[in-house]
Structure 1
Amino acid sequence: MSEFEHGHPFDPAYGRTLDELLDIPAPAPQDGFDAYWQDRLDGCRILGVSYTSVGGLRLGGWLVLPSQGAAEHGFVIGHGYGGRQEPGADVPLPLPRSAAILPCVRGMGSRSRRPGIPGEAAGHVLHGIESRGTYVIGDCVADLWCAALALLELVPELRAGSGPASEGMPGGGARLRYVGESFGGGLGALALPRDDRFDTGQSTVPTFGNHPSRVTLPCVGSGEAVRAYREEHPEVMDVLTYFDAATAASRIGVPMMVAPALFDPAVPPPGQFAVYHALPEPCELHVLRAGHFEYVGEGADTAALAEARRGFFATG
């Protein structure tokens, strides 16, 4: 009983002694608890943006800026083969006080559809595949390079890098990070070896890995269109060898984190893991149970990947 007289129909001391109250623990935090509150603190502004890529092609996307203050980190964030219709799940960003460009590569998404370039994955992945000089994947990689340049032009404070990681980099010592999933993960592996503005990268369920194996594996993603094309045109392997994400990954010279899946009907896991295995050290592995597939517990796994990505970039 409480020592106080009161008119409440219950005991406001709840029958607990001081010693009992001092033994009451805090509950375990929900997945993503810290990220949620950090995102609420940081906030961001999202603006439509366009930039010029190779061939004079005008492309679109979104620019994400901190709601207050200067940006301390810069990200280029690639999209999957479904295209990017809006910023969506790519915001919030992996680190607070960040700026990012979320480009739509040529032919894809709501802001970069162009006449003559198929907008759906099965047609897009075959566009110009007859030669390495015309294959659309090469132009899409260039679109990412041009997006990085656009980000540095739009957010000039990102040019002011310092220390060994920024020496010799174009853009006045710029330090950018790359994030890509699926199609964007494969493009990132192809782009990063040739662009020293990036000092770290993270790829989730990357495509285009190990083409000799990939063209033998049925799937429901863009790889199925390539597999069927190769059956009629075996000479296409001479082109695909220049666009192998695993081969390119072996030439990446910055820390990477890869999140391949054990089960994936759209991007066969052997190709995903080939990208990881090809990477020089240092690299981190975050294995997913499944990719491109809805399953019980997917939300918790997605939150765990986001937290691992945040930690990777925070220490990179």
Structure 2
Amino acid sequence: MPDARYLDWFGSEVRDATYGYDLEALHAVPPVPPPDGFAERWRSWYAEAMTVAPEPVLTPVGRQGAHEVFVVEHAVANGLRLRGWLALPIGGPARVGIVHGHGYGGRDAPDFSRVPDDAAVIFPIARGQGVFNAGLGAPTPDDGHVLFGIESVDTYSLGRCAVDLWHAASALVEVAGELPLYYIGESFGGGIGALALPWDERFVGATLVVPSFGQYDIRLQLQCEGSGERVRGYVAEHPEAREVLRCFDASTAAGFLELPVRVECALWDGFVPPPGQFAVANAIDELELQVLPAGHAEYPGVEAVLAESYAGTRAHLARALEAARSEHAAR
């Protein structure tokens, strides 16, 4: 039976989104071991991505807080061009570049809640998603984005979206100059970030918020309200797809991370089951963990939790930058 506070918050008619895991059990969820050739495959994709010139084109939007905001269009693989937003600090040169992912479905506007005033930031929108890229390079979420290309490791949409983060980083560097990079991603963006980050040495740190796509051995057994349910149903009918998913498990990729990572994991989450989130965190060596009462939900006190989360990301970013500078100076 779930904690009484969840019954008070969400009601007894709501599925128990702890899935029977308490905090001790969540800390014990193992990441999925890598299949043969996992790292080599991802490194080869990164090398290929670095041969693509980003060719960013900026269209001014206006000021938002401490930043000048632009719509950015940039190249990815195979001649496709994606759009998002890019923002530069008004007060002077940027000291860090941020690649800021989003949840499943895209975003409607930039969100600077976790972004320092002196950061340059790109808000890429995944292929097939959001206000700019709906149906471009992949179907929309409603039309099956999370299943697109799942017949092959080389065509699966989650892999292509992770590769697109490298292209977005290249576009940011092209505009803002050579900067240490930091990644922020939530839910879909958290899982995609975990897949992309281990292979890109331009990044010095990251925050992954309620990351998706972790621990498919467990995830495929748990009914949920998020994109995982569509994948669960598909794999039940096409069990061969389980082998494809082994190359896109965020908990597997997280084990290759060699940078400081802050992960925010929820105890209750009906969209991204908590054991998958914690499997990602449990794989990381340089981990800073914030345990959230719930994810993908409104609940009493959520504003204070969000304020702590935003401050935590900013502080973690500052420490990651300082650690990277110290390491560079020691060389």
Judge same fold: TM > 0.5, yes or no.
Answer: yes
Runs of 5+ unmatched residues, structure 2: 1-63, 321-331
Per-residue deviation at 1:116?
A: 6.5
Q: Secondary structure at the match of 2:296?
A: coil
1:166-215 Cα shifts (integer Å, max 9, x gaps) = xxxxxxxx410000000000000000011010010110000000011100
**Higher-RCO chain (CA-CA 8 Å, sequence separation at least 6):** 2
Q: Tell whether 2:227 aligns with 1:222.
A: yes
Give the alignment of 1:166-315 within 5 angstroms.
Answer: 174-280=179-285, 282-315=286-319
Distance 1:252 1:121 in 2: 32
Q: Tell whether 2:156 aligns with 1:135.
A: yes
Q: Secondary structure at the match of 2:214?
A: coil
Aligned counterpart in structure 1 of residue 100 of structure 2, from 63, 66, 77:
77
Aligned residue for 1:29? none
Per-residue deviation at 1:68?
A: 2.4
Q: Secondary structure at the match of 2:84?
A: strand
1:257-301 Cα shifts (integer Å, max 9, x gaps) = 000100000000000000000012x21000110000111111111
Per-residue deviation at 1:91?
A: 1.3
Per-residue deviation at 1:121?
A: 5.5
Structure 1 pair 147–202 and aligned structure 2 pair: CA distance change class (3 A)? same
Structure 1 pair 115–175 and aligned structure 2 pair: CA distance change class (3 A)? closer
TM-score by length of 2: 0.75
Aligned residue for 2:86? 63
How many residues align? The count is 258
Per-residue deviation at 1:113?
A: 2.0
- Rg (Cα) greater in structure: 1
State the superposition RMSD in angstroms: 1.6
- Give me the identity figure in percent: 48
Q: Tell whether 2:169 aligns with 1:148.
A: yes
Distance 2:142 2:219 in 1: 16
TM-score by length of 1: 0.79
Distance 1:124 1:292 in 2: 20
Q: Is the 8 A contact 2:127 2:136 kept in 1?
A: no
* Consecutive aligned runs of 4 or more in structure 1 exceeding 4 Å deviation: none
Per-residue deviation at 1:224?
A: 0.2
Give the alignment of 1:77-96 within 5 angstroms.
Answer: 77-87=100-110, 90-96=111-117
Distance 1:101 1:116 in 2: 20
Q: Tell whether 2:44 aligns with 1:44.
A: no
Distance 2:125 2:156 in 1: 17
Distance 1:108 1:288 in 2: 27
Aligned residue for 2:130? 109
Per-residue deviation at 1:45?
A: 1.1
Q: Secondary structure at the match of 1:100?
A: strand
Runs of 5+ unmatched residues, structure 1: 1-40, 160-173
Q: Is the 8 A contact 2:80 2:137 kept in 1?
A: no
Q: Secondary structure at the match of 1:228?
A: helix
Distance 1:103 1:198 in 2: 16
Q: What letter is aligned with 2:306?
A: T
Q: Secondary structure at the match of 1:76?
A: strand
Q: What letter is aligned with 2:141?
A: E
Q: What letter is aligned with 2:248?
A: F
Q: What letter is aligned with 1:314?
A: A
Structure 1 pair 115–283 and aligned structure 2 pair: CA distance change class (3 A)? closer
Distance 2:114 2:297 in 1: 23
Q: Is the 8 A contact 2:257 2:284 kept in 1?
A: yes
Distance 2:148 2:264 in 1: 28
Distance 2:135 2:73 in 1: 14
Q: Secondary structure at the match of 1:51?
A: strand
